[in-house]
């Protein structure tokens, strides 16, 4: 399945002023990561996921995600992952589009990223007033790179 995703930095002052839903805690780590493919384990709330992502070309990449038992995800993170990312995810609808906003914790605290998945690279959408710089094609903001700072 193709994932087409935009990623933006978030203005912290503007973000602080908006009403937000309850966030969901995400803890994730990588089993394998290379330029061509990353394999991620994630716990999101009370669910576990195994995700395989291909090389990013522009804002597009192949993605395969499977729900796995939470106990398996917890064990894999504990046994095989030496670094993990912790973040709170907020889902907010803006002009009919679901934005996912990640507020990072620990060594990445202070970083807030907003992501929007679209169905086509030609799809148009409204930018919320709390997003700033488009970092969609900047590999420094890929989670597989950010984890090296943890």
**What's the mean pLDDT in 16-44?**
96
Closest CA to 58 of 144, 128, 120: 120
H or E segment to which residue 76 belongs:
helix 70-80
Model-level pTM? 0.95
**What's the mean pLDDT in 108-135?**
96
Residues 6 or more apart whose CB falls under 8 angstroms from that of 49 comprise 40, 41, 42, 43, 65, 66, 67, 68, 73
Using pLDDT thresholds of 50, 70 and 90, give the confidence band for residue 101.
very high
pLDDT at 94: 95
In the predicted model, what is the mean pLDDT of the chain?
96
- What would the pLDDT profile of 60-79 be if each residue is shown by its tens digit? 999 999 999 999 999 999 99
Percent of the chain with pLDDT over 90: 98
**CB 15 within 8 Å of CB 88:** no
pLDDT at 37: 96
pLDDT at 76: 98
pLDDT at 55: 94
Closest CA to 65 of 24, 73, 83: 73
Closest CA to 113 of 93, 132, 92: 132
Using pLDDT thresholds of 50, 70 and 90, give the confidence band for residue 112.
very high
φ and ψ of 55, to 5 deg: -65, 140
Can you name the CATH fold of 2-149?
A: Hypothetical Protein Pfu-838710-001 (2.40.320)
**What's the mean pLDDT in 4-32?**
97
């Amino acid at each position: 399945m193709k994932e087409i995703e935009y990623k933006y930095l978030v203005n912290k002052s503007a973000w602080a002023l908006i009403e937000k839903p309850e966030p969901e805690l995400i803890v994730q780590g990588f089993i394998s990561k290379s330029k061509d493919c990353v394999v991620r384990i994630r716990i999101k709330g009370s669910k576990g996921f195994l995700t395989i992502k291909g090389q990013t070309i522009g804002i597009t990449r192949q993605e395969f995600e499977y729900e796995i038992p939470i106990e398996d995800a917890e064990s894999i993170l504990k046994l095989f992952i030496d670094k993990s990312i912790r973040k709170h995810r907020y889902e907010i609808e803006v002009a009919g589009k679901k934005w996912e906003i990640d507020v990072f914790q620990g060594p990445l605290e202070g970083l807030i990223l907003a992501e929007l998945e679209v169905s086509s690279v030609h799809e148009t959408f409204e930018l919320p007033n709390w997003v700033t710089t488009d970092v969609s094609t900047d590999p420094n903001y890929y989670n597989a790179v950010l984890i090296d700072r943890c």
